[in-house]
Amino acid sequence: MEINTIMNKIVIANSYRCKNKQSFFAIHQIVNKIRSYKPDCKIDYHIIWDTNPEGEVDNINWDEKINAIASDTVSIYSYDQTFFSNYAVKEYNIQPELIAKFKKYPAIYFVLMAHYLRKIKQEECCLIYDDDIIINYDFHDIIDYIINKQSILIVEIANANCDKVLFTKLNELYSEEFIHIYKLRNPNLFGFNSGFQCIDLSLFDEFINTDNFQLLLNIFDYSGIFDNEGKEIWGPNRFLIDTQQQSFFGIMNVVKSRANPIILNPHQYFVVPNWGVSPIHGPINIDNEFQGWDIALKSKITHFIGHTQGKGKPKIFLQLVDKYLEENKLL
């Protein structure tokens, strides 16, 4: 397989709900950070847009603004979930019974996208970047790491188990060396956030042939987040379902990256929810003016993680988005 080795290039990829203010902000924020530091850097941005008919729909105004970000050095590639279902069928003849299960576990579409970026686009690495992240500094070090094709991991400091649900399954696929490498490269057994993670796409090389591609799909549980009565599942069972993608990338990126991944200093870069106790900063007060997000905002990269259960994103995040858009005359 001929790999794309263009230097001075950054590939960004993720699934976003729709073309709205939040997704425009996310795209503009990171593209602006990169271009301010490396104006000639090529940026390829790959996005799966949610096609859930019950979800939020695209806003034509923000759609136009997103399209306007594209330039000679910035390419934005849009996909829907059907594209990657068809990819699995065309490239690997995956049967309709399994394709139908993808809808119950939509995170699988991003796994397929990452596989596609390796096999078809022949990329070396990509940055997974959620649309609910605030970058609180110049970002130069991260840009340099990505351009140099280095894996990057950010620690969830209050939840080392955030990416461990697939460890047994993944370990069973490999020899005893798997767990040895994991402990060697991640001696503190940190848990890593997948909403911001630069992955070495070569981890998919073992899943390129047909038999191993099926093994890749079989790693995941497609039972979904609704019980037999149609009631949404919460609690520990929801955690086991929702963190599968995070577990896959968090573990495989540690073990299968060609070089030791960079674990960002958890005193400067960390992910933490707005409740509980931070092992570095102490108890988190959810009732303060920041709704508990003041601890997360101490990180150079703040990810507003957690289920909103219909409540929408936190007030402080929305305020920071509007502040950014106003300062950059984008509203």
CB of 316 within 8 A of CB of 291?
yes
**How does residue 2 score in pLDDT terms, banded at 50, 70 and 90?**
low
What average pLDDT is seen over the chain?
94
Q: How sure is the predictor about 4, in pLDDT bands with cuts at 50, 70 and 90?
A: low
Return the pLDDT at 1.
61
Domains defined along the chain, listed by start: 9-327 (3.90.550)
Query: Which pLDDT does position 50 carry in this prediction?
Result: 85
Tokens of 97: 């019974």
Distance separating alpha carbons of residues 168 and 300, to the nearest angstrom: 33
Closest residue by Cα to residue 45 from 62, 69, 22? 69
| DSSP codes of every residue in 155-168 | EETT-GGGG-TTHH
> Beta strand 282-283 with 277-278: parallel, antiparallel or unpaired?
antiparallel
pTM (two decimals): 0.95
Is residue 6's pLDDT more than 70?
no
Nearest residue to 243 via CA among 47, 107, 116, 113: 107
How large a percentage of the chain has pLDDT more than 90? Answer: 88
Mean pLDDT of 164-193: 95
Query: 135 forms bridges with which residues in the sheet?
Result: 301
Q: Which helix (H) or strand (E) holds 127?
A: strand 125-129
With contact defined as beta carbons under 8 Å apart, do 135 and 29 qualify? yes
Q: Are 156 and 195 in contact (CB under 8 A)?
A: no
Q: What is the mean pLDDT of residues 2-18?
A: 84
- Tens-place pLDDT, residues 77-112: 999 999 999 999 999 999 999 999 999 999 999 999
pLDDT at residue 176 in the model: 83
Amino acid at 210: T
The residue that leads in pLDDT, 229 or 255, is: 255
User: Could you give the CA distance from residue 167 to residue 131 in angstroms, rounded to a whole number?
Assistant: 27
Amino acid at residue number 305: I
What's the pLDDT score for residue 287? 96
pLDDT at residue 151 is higher than 80: yes
pLDDT band at 308 (very low <50, low <70, confident <90, very high): low
pLDDT of 282 above 90: yes
Find residue 133's DSSP bridge partners.
303
Comparing CA positions, the residue from 42, 36, 40, 53 lying closest to residue 12 is 42
Give the amino acid at 180: H
Q: Are 226 and 278 in contact (CB under 8 A)?
A: no
Mean pLDDT of 208-213: 96
Cα gap 123→262, rounded to integer Å: 19
- CA-based angle 229:231:233, to the nearest 5? 125
Q: How confident is the model at residue 309 (pLDDT cuts 50, 70, 90)?
A: low
pLDDT in tens, 217-250: 999 999 999 888 788 888 888 999 999 999 999 9
Share of the chain above pLDDT 70, in %: 95
Taking the C-alpha atoms of residue 33 and residue 134, their distance in angstroms, rounded to an integer, is: 12
CA pair distance 37, 33, nearest whole angstrom: 7
Report the 10 Å Cβ neighbour count for 50.
17
In the predicted model, is pLDDT for residue 45 greater than 80? yes
Instruction: Please state at what angle helix 244-256 crosses helix 177-185, rounded to 10 degrees.
Output: 90
Q: Which residue has the tokens 């400067």?
A: 268
pLDDT of residue 54: 64
pLDDT digits (tens, 9 = 90+) for 108-135: 999 999 999 999 999 999 999 999 999 9
**pLDDT at residue 44, as a whole number:** 98
